[in-house]
Chains A and B, each alone.
Chain A
Amino acid sequence: MIMKWLHKFSSPPYFYALSGKLIKWLSVLLVAFLAAGLYGGLVLAPADYQQGDSFRIIYVHVPAAWMSLFIYMVMAVSGTIALVWRIKLAEIVSVCSPPIGAGFTFLALVTGSIWGKPMWGTWWVWDARLTSELILLFLYLGLIGLYTAIEDKRTASRSVAILALVGVVNIPIIHYSVEWWNTLHQGPTVTKFDKPSIHIDMLIPLLNMAIAFKLYFAIALLMRSRNELLQREQNGRWVEEVLEGK
């Protein structure tokens, strides 16, 4: 049953039509969560006892950093599926993810730097957390470069998937860097096993923003995938119908 649905979903014309509708619905949800998260984070949440209002940068910094890791995992999983089962849609997901992941990694680094200046007293330090996150940005950029450098898109996607899987080792390093080594960056706040060390009024907007960023990723991924699919299948008969339907 599930396999049957998956098969149907991954057929290009069906995916193309459904994703168009999905983007609209997800956009409505995105606006709702973004509004709730921003209003909660910038207005409702109280200032921090140590950091004052500067801590509000957390509402873009932390969700962006989570997304930089999450997107990498999505890419690695879909890359594995693409390599093993040769499913076209998985291939497309794994090659459309790097630009979005690079955007979030860039944001995590830049907002972290802007936060670090007033709080730590410096824009940048070469500690294990910051350095491994910078390596992640280079990995994403490398994947984008690799994909555009290879002419044949099927070969290119396979190379991207393999390089992505080589780089997957960096993900636990980023996550545990603050525990394995002493760093300037502090330890985890929300993803600790015991209760998170953030006040509930500050936590709720953070979770709203995290959901909003996930929705954003879904929308950006669907938009990019549709375009990629259209380019790869431009000689298919279903594309004719898409063009006429417009």
Chain B
Amino acid sequence: MSQFLEMGGYAFYVWSAYGVSTLVLCYGLLRPYLDHKKTLREISLKRRQHKRDLND
């Protein structure tokens, strides 16, 4: 296992490359997921306000 982590002396380079990739790719999915939730929230809020305005 420790031999695997050492990467033949290139541990810093190999793991930082994979680390950056993990961060960027995770952000690339998290961002649209949160944006989508936000959009749904905003639209339903707008609609409710609109309905209230009509009732007044």
A and B, direct touch (CB closer than 8 Å): yes
**Residues on A close to B: CB < 8 A?**
42-43, 47, 52-54, 56-57, 60-61, 64, 99-100, 103, 106-107, 110-111, 114-115, 117-118, 216, 219-220, 223-224, 226-227, 230-231, 234, 239-240, 242-243, 246
Residues of A contacting B40 in the complex (Cβ-Cβ under 8 angstroms): 230, 242-243, 246
Which of these, B14, B27, B29, B32, contacts A227 with CB under 8 Å? B32
Give Cα A234 to B8, complex, Å.
Answer: 55
Which chain B residue shows the least CB distance to A227? B36
Residues of A contacting B39 in the complex (Cβ-Cβ under 8 angstroms): 227, 230-231, 234
The 8 closest A-B pairs by CB, nearest first: A53-B8, A223-B32, A54-B10, A53-B7, A111-B17, A60-B21, A227-B36, A52-B8
Residues of B contacting A57 in the complex (Cβ-Cβ under 8 angstroms): 13-14, 17
Question: Is the CB–CB distance between A118 and B17 below 8 Å?
Answer: no
Which chain B residues (1-42) contact chain A, with CB distance < 8 Å?
A: 4, 7-10, 13-14, 16-18, 20-21, 24-25, 27-29, 31-33, 35-36, 39-40
Which chain A residue shows the least CB distance to B23? A107
Give Cα A173 to B22, complex, Å.
Answer: 29
**Could you tell me how many residues of chain B have their Cβ less than 8 Å away from some Cβ of chain A?**
28
Question: Is the CB–CB distance between A220 and B29 below 8 Å?
Answer: yes
Question: Is the CB–CB distance between B7 and A43 below 8 Å?
Answer: no
Nearest-neighbour CB distance to chain A for B21, whole angstroms, equals 4
Nearest-neighbour CB distance to chain A for B14, whole angstroms, equals 5
Which chain A residue shows the least CB distance to B16? A114
Which of these, A64, A99, A223, A243, contacts B21 with CB under 8 Å? A64
Give Cα A230 to B17, complex, Å.
Answer: 36
What 14 additional pairs, Cβ within 8 angstroms, besides A107-B24, A114-B20, A227-B35? A52-B10, A54-B7, A56-B7, A60-B17, A103-B24, A103-B25, A106-B24, A111-B17, A111-B20, A216-B29, A230-B43, A234-B39, A234-B43, A239-B43
Question: Is the CB–CB distance between B21 and A107 below 8 Å?
Answer: yes
Interface membership of B44, Cβ < 8 A? yes
Which of B21, B24, B43 has the most CB atoms of chain A within a 10 A radius of its CB?
Answer: B21
Give Cα A69 to B32, complex, Å.
Answer: 22
A115 touching B28 in the complex, CB below 8 Å, given contacts A56-B7, A230-B40:
no
Question: Is the CB–CB distance between B18 and A60 below 8 Å?
Answer: yes
Give Cα A64 to B43, complex, Å.
Answer: 35
Question: Is the CB–CB distance between A47 and B13 below 8 Å?
Answer: no
Give Cα A246 to B39, complex, Å.
Answer: 13
Give Cα A96 to B20, complex, Å.
Answer: 22
Which chain B residue shows the least CB distance to A242? B40
Nearest-neighbour CB distance to chain A for B32, whole angstroms, equals 4
Residues of B contacting A99 in the complex (Cβ-Cβ under 8 angstroms): 28, 31
